[in-house]
Structure 1
Amino acid sequence: MKVERKCKIVSKEWLNQDAVYMVLEVGDMVRTSCKGPGQFVHVKCGDGLLLRRPISVCSCMEDEPEDTLAIAFEVRGEGTAWLSERQVGDTLDVLGLLGNGFQVRPEGRYLLVGGGIGIPPMRGCAQYTQGRSTAILGGRSADKVILQNCFQDECAKVLVATDDGSLGYHGFVDALVRQELSEDKNYDAVLACGPKPMLRNVAKVAEEFGVPCQVSMEERMGCGVGACLVCVCDMKDGTRKHACKDGPVFDSKEVDWDA
């Protein structure tokens, strides 16, 4: 059940010149609407802006008297610029938790792949599997690989790829996915979030090795609850699904990657 809450910012940190990490007190939102890692919240950004901004949940915790959740986002436009200027103690209008997250088991072992701002939602998967999973993180340059220290604390192993070679492997994350699966295929699934070209390549490698793959699709959203058609994703069977309501996570074999 999705709920709308006035949520107080209890901590805020700039991860780089563009990305902000915030922890919010969210009432009973986690207790009433959490389905697992990979969901998102819809945040109202300013009085003059009509549409909310969808932001993936980085981690969340049931607590008393207030549940807490963490979000991480990049400043990409007017709405997120407004959000980045909010300070500790300020209140946000938050709708959540929304969407369907990754299908994971706490006792499972997963290969977590995050690219750019697709990194934060993978942290929830890392925490959920309590140190058994491996993370592969990618970014254009070293400063774009955010939350690396968190993954090092919460995963069995962390691999990094950067487009410019400034940190870790010089290249794209799908090369590291191939390297890891060639050495160890004993993962319950590959879980990935990031730009669509990255997801397509990661899904292709997972299929080659016979490992199930779930992808979280990054799409622009309007309403966040399936009433509009902004976030439609084309499926291989010819249907069209909403990233906000049916996703944002899909089985990679469902997605029409050529659409």
Structure 2
Amino acid sequence: MKVERKCTIVAREEMGDAIYLVLEAGDMVRTSYAGPGQFVHVKCGEGLLLRRPISVCSCQEDVPNDLIAIAFEVRGDGTRWLAQRKVGDTLDVMGLLGNGFSIKPKGRYLLVGGGIGIPPMRGCAQATEGRSTAILGGRSKDKIILQSCFNDECAKVLIATDDGSLGHHGFVDALVRQELEQDKNYDGVLACGPKPMLRNVANVAQEFGIPCQVSMEERMGCGVGACLVCACDMADGSRKHVCKDGPVFDSKEVDWNA
């Protein structure tokens, strides 16, 4: 059940181009948490600006206020306004929204995050309590955020950068292939990032017969399935909506050629 709350910023940190915020969110987690990979819809600015969907990095039930962490990059007027908020400021937040990753109890997963798709994978790392392996990718080393958190919360962390400034020189799908060649004992691959990355990761997972879930990113309007802006083409010819039916889908559901 989604809720709308006035959330106070209690921590703020700049991580390269990303802004990391921790929010006091009332009972939002206790009321609407359904698994890692959900998102919040944040009102950014006054007037007619639409809310902005932002993936949840991690969340924690607490009393009197639950805590939610988000991370984002400035992509337009709304996120520019949000990036200017300070500790103590209040945000109008709707959440938690969407369907997250489906994780088996005591499951062990290969977590793949690219760029600003890295933060939501941290919730998966926490949910699997140190059993999973993380593969993090970005254009350069300054795009690899939260690495120390993954080091603490995963059994192993592998890095890929497009320019070779950190870890493997290349894309994350090469590391996914490398890891699965060495160890096929994963319950699944969970991934979030740009669509071309997700397609490549899904193809590698399918080669090895490993189930794969992907978190899709589309422009959103309402965030609750009413405006139909965030349509995503499915392999069976249907269209689903990222805000309501996703953002997480089985990779075999998605039409990667659309």
TM range (shorter): over 0.9
Question: Would you say the 8 A contact 2:114–2:138 is kept in 1?
Answer: yes
Mapped partners of 1:76, 1:48: distance in 2:
19
Aligned position for 1:213:
212
Q: Tell me which residue corresponds to 1:2.
A: 2
2:111 is matched with: 112
User: What SS is found at the alignment partner of 2:253?
Assistant: coil
Within 1, Cα distance between the matches of 2:235 and 2:18?
Answer: 34
CA contact 1:225–1:245 (8 Å) conserved in 2: yes
Please give the root-mean-square deviation of Cα atoms over the aligned residues, in Å.
0.6
The 1-side partners of 2:145 and 2:104 are apart by 25
Aligned length: 258
Q: Counterpart of 2:45 in structure 1: which amino acid?
A: G
SS at match of 1:253: helix
> What secondary structure does 1:161 align onto?
strand
Cα deviation for residue 49 of structure 1 reads 3.9
Could you tell me how far 1:105 is from its partner in structure 2? 2.4
CA deviation after TM superposition for structure 1 residue 50, in Å? 2.6
The residue aligned with 2:73 is: 74
Could you list the runs of 5+ residues in structure 1 that have no partner in the other structure?
Answer: none
Q: Distance in 1 between matches of 2:139 and 2:211?
A: 27
Q: Percent identity?
A: 82
SS in 1 for 2:102: coil
Aligned ranges 1:2-81 → 2 under 5 Å? 2-16=2-16, 18-81=17-80
User: CA–CA distance in 2 between the matches of 1:129 and 1:108?
Assistant: 6
Distance 2:237 2:126 in 1: 35
- Report the residue type matching 1:108 in the other structure: G
Q: How does 1:1-259 map to 2 (within 5 A)?
A: 1-16=1-16, 18-259=17-258
Q: CA separation of 1:149/1:49 partners in 2, compared to 1, >3 Å: closer, same or farther?
A: farther
Structure 2 counterpart SS, 1:149: helix
Q: Separation in 2 of the partners of 1:145 and 1:35?
A: 27
Distance 1:218 1:34 in 2: 20
**Residue 230 (structure 1) shift:** 1.3
- Is contact 2:49-2:78 (8 Å) kept? no
Which moved further from structure 2: 41-50 or 112-121?
41-50
Give the conservation status (yes or no) of the 8 Å contact 1:138–1:160.
yes
Q: Distance in 1 between matches of 2:7 and 2:206?
A: 41
Name the CA shift for 1:106/1:10 in 2 (closer, same or farther; >3 Å): farther
Segments of 5+ residues of structure 2 without an aligned counterpart are none
Following the alignment from structure 1 to structure 2, what is the Cα–Cα distance between the partners of residues 106 and 70?
A: 23
229-238 or 243-252: bigger deviation: 229-238
Cα deviation per residue 1:5-61 (whole Å; 9 max; x = unaligned)?
A: 000000000001x21000000000000000010000000000034310000000000
CA distance in 1, matches of 2:23, 2:48: 21
